[in-house]
Amino acid sequence: MSIFASTPESQAFGLKAKIYDDELRSRGYVARFTKDMAVNPEAYVAFEALISAITQNMDLRRYELVTLAAAQALGSAHCRLAHGVKALRAIDEEELIQIARDYHNAGLSPAEVAMMEYAEKLSTDAVTMTDADTLDLRDHGFTDREILDITLAAGARNYLSRVLQAIAAEVDVPTKLSPQLRSALLAPLAQYGAEAKPRHRGA
């Protein structure tokens, strides 16, 4: 659990109150990790603006697949669970369960598998990446803008996941997640012990 003394919802004002209100509208509750990040509300808003800039011309399904792949590579229960819910806006739950368990054997297109592998490598071994990695995405039909957006999406997930892990932010389990989807999202993280931490929150 984070050591931060976060602001209760009833005491929030200004920019922090706006962050909380936005969370309540979109999520139905204010996640504990959002309260931790809102200790610096300007940085939180800047990150949200970055995500908006990355995704404004990016297919939602693509963004969520890249995000889930990066979060898996990072062992991030926070982002796997949060984006498990968000991914349902673009991916059927039955398909998403298969993707969460093993995206290599979930019936994805070769291009989707390639970009998820790229996001994983960026998240675990970026120092060894070369032109061959981006050229592989180009060979799968991605444009330069699409390759950069995939890279930015994965890089942004690295930022947030690592920050939440470093401050030991509490993991919320959205109740909108079915037990089957929750299990599938967390199963690949067993090696990190991440599946033992979440607590249920929200509606």
CATH of 58-201, one of 1.20.1290.10, 1.20.1740.10, 3.40.50.880, 2.40.50.1070: 1.20.1290.10
Distances (CA, A) of 139 to 53, 165, 181: 25, 35, 32
For residue 176, what pLDDT band results from cuts at 50, 70 and 90? confident
CA 100 to chain centre: 12
The residue among 24, 70, 16 whose CA lies nearest residue 203 is: 24
Cα separation, 61 vs 90, in Å, equals: 5
* pLDDT tens digits, 5-42: 889 999 999 999 999 999 899 888 899 999 999 999 99
What secondary structure does DSSP assign to 42-90, as a single string?
HHHHHHHHHHHHHHTTS-HHHHHHHHHHHHHHHT-HHHHHHHHHHHTTT
For residue 175, what pLDDT band results from cuts at 50, 70 and 90? confident
Q: What is the DSSP letter of 13?
A: -
pLDDT of residue 28: 86
pLDDT of residue 29: 87
* Domain residue ranges in the chain: 11-54, 58-201
* pLDDT at residue 201 is higher than 70: no
* Positive/negative CA dihedral, 108, 112, 117, 119: negative
Contact between 160 and 47 under an 8 Å Cβ cutoff? The reply is yes
The residue among 30, 79, 36, 78 whose CA lies nearest residue 202 is: 30
pLDDT of residue 192: 60
Phi, psi torsion values for 200, nearest 5 degrees: -75, 140
